[in-house]
A and B are shown apart, each in its own frame.
Chain A
Amino acid sequence: MVKIITIACAVLALLSAEGCQRQDEIVPSGKIIKLGVIGPFSGVDRAKGEDGVEGIKTAMKWQPLLKNGDRIELIIEDDQNKPALTVNALNRLANDERVSAVLLMSTSSSALKIKPQANKLEIPVLAMLATHPDVSGDNDYVSQLCFDDIFQGSVAALFVMDELLIEKVAVFTDPDSEHSSVLATEFIRKFQTVGGVVTETVVLGSDESYLERLQELRDKGTELLYLPVKPKEVVAIKNAARNIDWKPEVMASDGLVATIINDYGDEVALLEDIYAIDFFSTDDKDLQKSSYSEKIMRLYYSSRDADKATSYTALGVESYLVIKNAMNHCDKPGDRICLNRMLRDTKNFEGLVGKISILENGKAERPLIVNKISGGELLFVVKVY
């Protein structure tokens, strides 16, 4: 009897065991493929660059070699998120360092600025953070890893209308930011299309007094504030609302929590209950993540004295894996033309929280996450494809 049960259990165990994933051992070839990284590593936006590079390095530690055994080497250039410096950095990387591709961690202004140069140098650039719709589309070499602002603006408007069931909103916009302008415009357009009322569009000025504006908005019956503005402005507006004892719903745009945590750590409490659109979520319970997500995050935490990663880190991980995937599809991984072609042929690549595809025109298709901020965490609400 015992024998029968033992044998049967062994058979069951064998049957139930997941097939051992035999990963072919990659033998290092000794060759180096240079990968350029441009981002802000100094100045006010340095957190974006620093967090992003940490993500890249973590992914490199996990998968250091291409399938042919070539090793990727990072050449990092600081542009302080200033477009002029970005162009210089690109030239240096393309001409002097002869990198095969560039990962750009600067924002849309820089990405827009280097488009002609990337075309001229025929060097593939993967813009990690730039969400402006014009970053890709009309050029051959700059591709995006993020969803663009049109998608984000539309989703924000429809989420507010159909899920929060809110019909009266006020929109804040920063005239100095392309990102903010596009988001605000698209939000207003879409929100009004589906019957929503925009009580006011508030254009941020240098001597803005939020208290008076908010009182006016409250009087107009505004239920939600859409704030595609800089994180410090979000904090200021929330603070002002608190001062007049007003608690409207608030929706903000991507990267809010990552920036606040890095630059305004003390202000995180003010962000409580804000809806924030992002690429990721810190919620492990309700959001389906990729098979490798946990493993790579563990690797990240083990190498740093941190217990949470920002969106920039996660984008850093994904950008490295996407470009490496493209390199693996080229006979000569360093071949820029092939690499660019393969990059724009990325289909259903498994990102950290969903599939990523990069279309022929360089635009990315990836899910967008609507989170709600709680205790400095991004709690998952919905995922939009």
Chain B
Amino acid sequence: MKEYVKSALFICAPSGTELIKLIQNNPYGADVSSTDIDSFAENPPLHLADCNHVVISGDLNDLKYVLKLSAELGFSMGVIAQEEYRELARSYGIPDKPEQAVELALRKSGHELDLILCNGEVLLYKATMGRLPLLDTPRGTSRLKMIWRGLKQFSGLKLLPLRFVTNNGKEINTAACGCMLIQQHGSNLASRKIAADSTAKDEMVELIISAPVSILGYFKFLLQIILPAGYRKKLPDSIGFVKSKSFVIESDAPLDVTIDGESRTSTPIFCETLPRAVTLNIGDEYSASLKVASPGKEKLNISNLPTGKEEINKASLKSIPFFSYASEERFRDLFQALREDSVTNSTYIVLMILSTLLATIGLYQNSTAVVIGAMLLAPLMAPIISLAMGMLRQDKKISRQSAVKIIVGVVIALLSAALLTLMFPHKPVTSEMLARVNPTLLDLGVAIFAGIAGAYTKAYKEILQSLAGVAIAVALVPPLAVAGIGIGRLDISFFSQAFLLFSTNLVGILLAATFTFRILGYSPAVHDKTSMRLVILTLILIAVPLYFSYDDIVERLEMEKYWQNERFLVNGKYIIVQQAHLAKRQDKNVMTMDILAREQLNRDDLTRLRKKIERNISRELIVRARILYIP
């Protein structure tokens, strides 16, 4: 059974004479007197002497004025929305039809709602400061329009140092391009996607802080916003969300504050929630949604915001960079792990010796399995990744320690393999060794992708187990072992080719890991580019011999392919080339062929065969033939 107020004051705009008649002739037994806002403002207590319920039908500022007064004087309120404030009415569940609105406005059972005041100004929906690309997009905007808006808004985006203090005294120092305080949800993208559970009865005000620290980060945020709900994270990257009873917001320079669409004040700003400060007749549906809200607890989700002093200072320097950056504090665990990886210790030395010896024996044994075992055992990847991070962040200590660790490892590996080779009475050259003395641009490609994977696995602990695969892919120790074998054999060509492969892997991983860390947002706030230039220059220098050996390998493969269709008629004997393999040994081209013949081949036949081959091949060749006889 609905109850209605006995008397009420109707504050109406001059154009609302129709409404005055309607409300005064209400069928609910309420005695309604009317006035206009100006008269009311002259002496509110006088107008309220005979009643404690006010029905208002005015503009937004009238409503805010009366609401504030309601909080002070304690009268209850009803609202009849004018045509142009339908949206406002809907947000409180107030019907559009005047008759229904009058019925709701005159009810006795009002709801106690919070009132937000920002520097004394009533906040009904939202207050914004700075730029909030996309977040302020009105409800109902299509995805395509949203993308277009997002792209338009990102130009010249800049982060500003901002300071927020919550009701509990929690201080947030960050850099952001803007922030938004929200009371009523639903009117814009941010309030719907991020602060969807906020209500006007939870004694809280929500704060959304937008801080895209890089262009990449901004596009990621854009993607997260436009993705269908199923794929979207609750809190997109670049966004911080805080819920508190009050906020103090400060900026270095005064920042214009727009409250409910009107520029009303500037920073510093103090926003407070006056809990249950007004009693307002609201629609039944809206009222039901308020019941589920749980009042009370302060909420902070600021892990996406730049917080370190270094980052905040960097942020205020210029427009947001392409790649994001990170402060030491933000990735403390990772940096600590990398720092530990850069220290040379006995475990590293022992593992390095063991893996090299294993690789060397595997190479002599021509056993792929043993060589792979050595790859897995090898501890070289960790200091290389540390060096990459050290270089990116200009951390001289990490860089120096990692470089020393790598050099120590390399020297140990070369010596171990060389000594083992010297101890072997017989020093065969196996195909496992030969596979590591012809580095090409393709090896550089492998190293680059392994470097990316290495940095990625290091950055995300949950995929750390993939590092074994990376180690196999890039295989750092076997080429070093082959280079050591080259030293042991006193074969400079063998050593230099294998060492070139190792250097290729080293530089490739280093560069790729550095770039990967940068893309993942681990670069420091301020950095110089000297070390990166050095790595790129080394990479280019290393790419020159690799380019030529790649060219060589393509030519070799083509030649091998063609030779599978070559036949010889020597002294009337038909010789089928089944397979041909061209390799370089001591700067000489050695062609090893598997040949099929029906008749016995004598020395003269083989000499003629060699001559025919030499005559028809443009390059100098040493021919080795394995003969299989057709019975």
Contact = CB atoms under 8 A, between A and B. Distances in A.
A286 B615 CA distance: 21
Given A382-B567, A385-B612, A385-B616, A162 B596 contact: yes
Nearest to B537: A4
B61 to A, nearest CB: 56
Q: Determine which residue in B533, B537, B551, B616 has the highest number of CB atoms from chain A within 10 A of its CB, and name it.
A: B616
Contact of A12 (B543, B599, B630): B543
Given A5-B536, A355-B616, A380 B565 contact: yes
Given A154-B569, A286-B565, A162 B540 contact: no
Nearest to B565: A382
B567 A384 contact: yes
A357 interface: yes
Contacts, number: 82
Contacts of B540: 4-5, 8-9, 11-12
Contacts of B615: 348, 355, 357
Contacts of B566: 382-385
B596 A354 contact: no
Given A1-B529, A1-B536, A194-B598, A15 B544 contact: yes
A296 B630 CA distance: 41
Interface string B537-570: 1001101100110010000001000100111110
B598 to A, nearest CB: 6
Q: How large is the interface on B (under 10, 10 to 19, 20 to 34, 35 or more residues)?
A: 20 to 34
A16 B547 contact: yes
B574 interface: yes
Interface in B597-626: 598-599, 612-613, 615-616
Contacts of B598: 158, 161-162, 194
Interface in B154-190: none
A158 B568 CA distance: 11
A285 to B, nearest CB: 10
Q: How large is the interface on A (under 10, 10 to 19, 20 to 34, 35 or more residues)?
A: 20 to 34
A16 B543 CA distance: 11
A5 B543 CA distance: 12
A258 interface: no
Nearest to A195: B598
A190 B533 contact: no
Interface in A1-36: 1, 4-5, 8-9, 11-12, 15-16
B572 interface: yes
Given A1-B529, A163-B576, A367-B616, A383 B567 contact: yes
Given A4-B537, A8-B537, A162-B574, A385 B562 contact: no
A182 to B, nearest CB: 15
Contact of A159 (B572, B574, B616): B574
Contacts of A162: 574, 576, 596, 598, 630
A357 B616 CA distance: 10
Given A151-B569, A190-B572, A4 B533 contact: yes
A76 interface: no
A288 B555 CA distance: 12
A149 to B, nearest CB: 13
Contact of B569 (A8, A155, A287): A155
Contacts of B572: 154, 190
Contacts of B565: 286-287, 380-383
Contact of B616 (A8, A161, A286, A354): A354
B627 to A, nearest CB: 14
A308 to B, nearest CB: 21
A8 B615 CA distance: 39
Given A4-B537, A155-B574, A384 B568 contact: yes
Contacts of A154: 569, 572, 574
Contacts of A158: 569, 574, 598
Interface string A127-153: 000000000000000000000000100
Interface string A337-369: 000000000001000001101000000000100
A160 B175 CA distance: 82
Contacts of A155: 567, 569, 574
Nearest to A7: B540
Contacts of A4: 533, 536-537, 540
A16 B544 CA distance: 9
Contacts of A357: 615
Nearest to A357: B615
Nearest to A163: B576
Contacts of A354: 616
Interface in A135-193: 151, 154-155, 158-159, 161-163, 190
A385 B573 CA distance: 11
Nearest to B529: A1
A346 B568 CA distance: 21
Contacts of B532: 1
A287 to B, nearest CB: 8
A67 B615 CA distance: 25
Nearest to A5: B536
A58 to B, nearest CB: 24
A287 B565 CA distance: 9
Contacts of A288: 558, 562
Interface in B490-542: 529, 532-533, 536-537, 540-541
A158 B599 CA distance: 11
Contact of A385 (B529, B536, B541, B567): B567
Nearest to B562: A288
A355 B565 CA distance: 16
A361 B539 CA distance: 58
Q: Determine which residue in B548, B551, B569, B599 has the highest number of CB atoms from chain A within 10 A of its CB, and name it.
A: B569
Contacts of A286: 562, 565
A68 to B, nearest CB: 27
A11 B537 CA distance: 12
A167 B599 CA distance: 16
Nearest to A193: B572
Contacts of A16: 547-548, 551
Contacts of B547: 12, 15-16
A15 B547 CA distance: 10
B561 to A, nearest CB: 8
B566 to A, nearest CB: 6
Interface string B56-82: 000000000000000000000000000
Contacts of B613: 385
A367 B566 CA distance: 10
Interface string B569-607: 100101010000000000000000000101100000000
Given A12-B547, A162-B596, 9 more contacts: A4-B536, A15-B548, A16-B551, A154-B572, A161-B574, A161-B598, A355-B616, A384-B574, A385-B566
6 contacts: A8-B540, A151-B569, A154-B569, A155-B574, A162-B576, A355-B615
Interface of B: 529, 532-533, 536-537, 540-541, 543-544, 547-548, 551, 558, 562, 565-569, 572, 574, 576, 596, 598-599, 612-613, 615-616, 630
Closest 3 CB pairs of A and B: A158-B574, A8-B540, A384-B567
